[in-house]
Amino acid sequence: MCAAIARQEFRPTPLKRVLPVPSDIEIAQAAELKPIVQVAEELGLLPDEIELYGPYKAKVKLEVLERLRDVPNGYYVDVTAITPTPLGEGKTTTTVGLSQALGAHLGKRVVTCIRQPSQGPTFGIKGGAAGGGYSQVIPMEDFNLHLTGDIHAITAANNLLAAAIDVRMLHEADATDEQLFVRLFPTDKAGKRHFTPGMRARMAKLGIEAQTPDDLTIEDRRRLFRLDIDPDTITWRRVIDTSDRFLRGITIGEGSEEKGMTRKTGFDITVASEIMAILALTTSLRDMRERFGRIVIGLSRSGEAITADDLGVAGAMTVLMKDAIKPNLMQTLEGTPVFVHAGPFANIAHGNSSILADQIALKLAEYVVTESGFGADMGMEKFFDIKCRYSGLVPNVVVLVATVRALKMHGGGPKVVAGRPLDVAYTQENLDLLRAGLPNLLHHIGIARKFGIPVVVAVNRFVTDSPAELELVRQVAVEQGGAEAAVVCEHWEKGGEGALELAKAVVAAAEKPSTFEFLYPLDWPIKKKIETIAREIYGADGVDYLPEAEERIAEYERLGFGSLPICMAKTHLSLSHDPMLKGVPTGFRIPVRDIRASVGAGFLYPLLGKMSTMPGLPTRPAFMDVDLDLETGRVIGLF
């Protein structure tokens, strides 16, 4: 009854455009929100399939997938971009604007699926990721700050595993085999010892058979409980969801009771954790538990891969993550539903929101609009070759976001620096500079078409773009690039109305046949997969491997990780590995300095340059503007 009453009383307030243009947070706070129970009901969710987190956000239970298992999937749309400037080109804003156009203006049942932002960039220099202008996810403050606590759960699970590693080494160092056996297998009230699920998993891996711990031979006891971790091989680090450069390198074990156990390690930002990547790629609670168990934290001194299951901690990690696995339901400024779930990095990880959110959305909606991180060479390639492999979902359309300013940069324009005013080259008409940068757009269209997916180009209009510049981009995208359509969009200023023509083009493209195929088969050798991505996606002449990378590749092949997909870790500011190479670079080779394994998530990630997994704060961080209006209780200064 409450939901029905709320639905009757809700009257969307027309969005008013006033000059000067209000900030994103002012626009978001001026909107009238639907109660989230109404959003859920309109989407087709039952009351017992959501868990409320206040009046305007909720979690969606995974049981909905079982109820809707026989319902055909809707159309699947991925929004990507050309190689961006450091300012970003409005990809999330386009994602939200397109969804508003499909839902609020064309009357389609639509769901937006996007990532949750990290508080590191939110309080640093980048800002939030809720979209912008009149194409946003709301409540914007909740979206960018805590939401329902998923990132905090990841922090807790990640750091529990980190603590388990060090304490295991400590106790193995100060105990005899017999003492360690007694401590790891205490007797119950009946005087019996029992295996834990993690120990059972390790026994299966080692081929050990026993009914009870007391049945183990002396040799099997040692193999089972003495992991003998080589501290020099540990790759698992602690995390925190704050940009704190002083935690990039630390020394642990300085306490008096840990004497002799010091080692150098460091912190990553939480969204760079493998647990975040697992959350985005898992397909069920059981699958998540199995993936946690497969996480490799390092090697034993004999060269055995040591996992979270070997440490007996994967079950507890799953308990910490049992609520985080449920997608979060929110809404856009125009009342269309949004699933916000997971937020892995788009350089060292795959940069896509969760499979589970997409699976649920595709059962509930006619159109699901999701977004992959950075350009088509980054998040979109990983969306296809990693996410789609694990989800089994086939995309129907790619929307490629382009801007005049980014194309001018690729044509040789002055350097673009976040926080500094744009050079006049970007604010005045310059068709020659724009024309010189258009090959970058054509290359990205070609990447999407290489996978057999129709492409629609969204030209995100800025107020300084001239009609002639916009028309040139549109014309070249269709006539030379082979895009199905290229549409100038004004969704930042006009919301869904400004993306209406884009929505119509997406609907038309979704009806066209596609021939989706992966870039490479998984049974190819590691090097062949890396080199295929380098040539076919980046346009490189070849790949050069440093000795450390050669050693890692041989090691991973020996350990049986060679059949995993590849998640290339490189800059997003160039098609190449070098952020200074703009446009469509040629005559370059890709250097692979190292390669790491995210076995739980299910990919290998070659490092093509120095990848920072802990951002630093600028001289004037964004948090300096953020405060609480004590009179109204509203957050102020958040973008």
Q: Give catalytic residues, as residue numbers.
A: 91, 93, 115, 126, 346, 374, 462, 492
Q: Which residues contact 637 (CB under 8 A, 6 or more apart)?
A: 25, 625, 626, 627
592 forms bridges with which residues in the sheet? 545
Q: Which residues contact 549 (CB under 8 A, 6 or more apart)?
A: 592, 593, 594, 595, 606, 607
Q: How far apart are CA 204 and CA 178, in angstroms?
A: 22
Closest CA to 258 of 287, 223, 231, 221: 231
| Nearest-10 crossing angle of helices 274-281, 285-294 | 150
- In the DSSP assignment, the letter for residue 568 is -
Task: Give how far Cα 285 sits from Cα of 290, 320, 325, 326, Å.
Answer: 9, 12, 7, 10
450 forms bridges with which residues in the sheet? none
Tokens of 331: 């809404």
The backbone torsions φ and ψ at residue 241, rounded to the nearest 5 degrees and listed phi first, read: -90, 50
Q: How far apart are CA 218 and CA 456, in angstroms?
A: 65
Closest CA to 371 of 337, 401, 333, 326: 401
Q: Are strands 75-81 and 367-371 parallel, antiparallel or unpaired?
A: parallel
Tokens of 590: 């890709």
- H or E, element range at 201: helix 197-206
CA angle centred on 395, ends 117 and 65, rounded to 5°? 70
* Residue whose tokens read 């929004």: 79
Closest CA to 128 of 136, 142, 117: 117
Q: Are strands 337-340 and 110-114 parallel, antiparallel or unpaired?
A: parallel
Tokens of 194: 């029992």
460 forms bridges with which residues in the sheet? 489
Answer whether 455's CB lies under 8 Å from 400's CB: yes
Q: How far apart are CA 103 and CA 107, in angstroms?
A: 5
